Structures are given as C-alpha cells and as structure tokens.
Amino acid sequence: MRILGIDPGSRTTGYGIVESQGNRLRHIDNGIIAPGATALLALRLKTIYDGVTRIIGEFAPDAVAIEQVFMAKNPQAALVLGHARGAAMLAAVNAGLPVHEYSALQVKSAVVGYGRAGKPQVQQMVKALLNLPEIAQEDAADALGVAICHAHSRTLNQALTLTGRR
C-alpha cells in the first residue's frame, strides 16, 4: 500500500510518501508545498490544493493520512491551519482516496514510541525507520511520520480484525 502523509500548514505543508508491504516500509518521496507567507490565504489554500493534487497524480497513493489540528494557544492560527487541512483533504477526496486522521500524539507514539517526543527525535527516527541518507526537512519528516503512523495503525487494525478483537 502506498500512503501519502500530510503535515498541513498554511505557510508550509509537508508531504511524505511511503510504501508499506507487511511490516516493511519503503521511502518513495518527501518534500514541502510552500505557498509563501505573504500570499493571501485564499491563494495559499489553492497552492496547497494544487500541490496535493499534483503529488497524488504523480505518485498514485492508495490512501492519505493527515495530522489533526491541535488546539493552539491562538484560535486564529488554529482556524487557518484548519483551512490548510481542508484544502489538502479536499484534494484527496476529489481524487477518490480515503483520508485518515491522526493526532500528533498518535504520530509521535507510532514513530518514536513516546507521544511527547520532540521534533528532532521524530526526524531522527523517520531517518532510521526509512533508512534515509539524511534527515528530512522538519515538515516533510512530520509528514513521513504521519504516513508511518498510518502504516502501523493499518497493520494493527488488520491483525485485530483477524483475531476477532475488533
């Protein structure tokens, strides 16, 4: 299964694509969609939508995993982040892909084993888990972490279904 992970942001949206075969993960690609901090919000959202649409067209993922909005101290920032998530989710749904959401706590737990891990720890573990030659840019590493979280969650859910625990 090919998974597109997305770490949404109105200024920088990270993406990461991994392929999951059993319990093995393979890195396909990662990067950022950077609409520019000074552009109008509507234009940044269009850039995110167009970028995710392009990535889906190029890499043909089977599913999309996206990080949920965390409750920020600034409600306006959380609202803008929600718009960025919406643009990315809409691109995925318009492409006919299932969208799965994970909290930052779930992602960090799946990648590092500790839900309160710092960004450098996530970056280092993503590098190790995917055997990357270098540490990915912060937003791209977070997106790869979301994809890894979905791969692990999917495997766990399949195992629970097979054992009748679900």
| Active site (catalytic) residues | 7, 67, 139
Q: What length does the chain have?
A: 166
The rounded distance, in Å, linking the Cα atoms of 135 and 120 is 9
Helix (H), strand (E), coil (C) string for 77-100: HHHHHHHHHHHHHHHHHHCCCCEE
- How many of the other CB atoms lie within 10 Å of CB of 43? 12
**C-alpha 29: how far from its chain's center?**
12
The H or E element containing residue 33 is strand 24-33
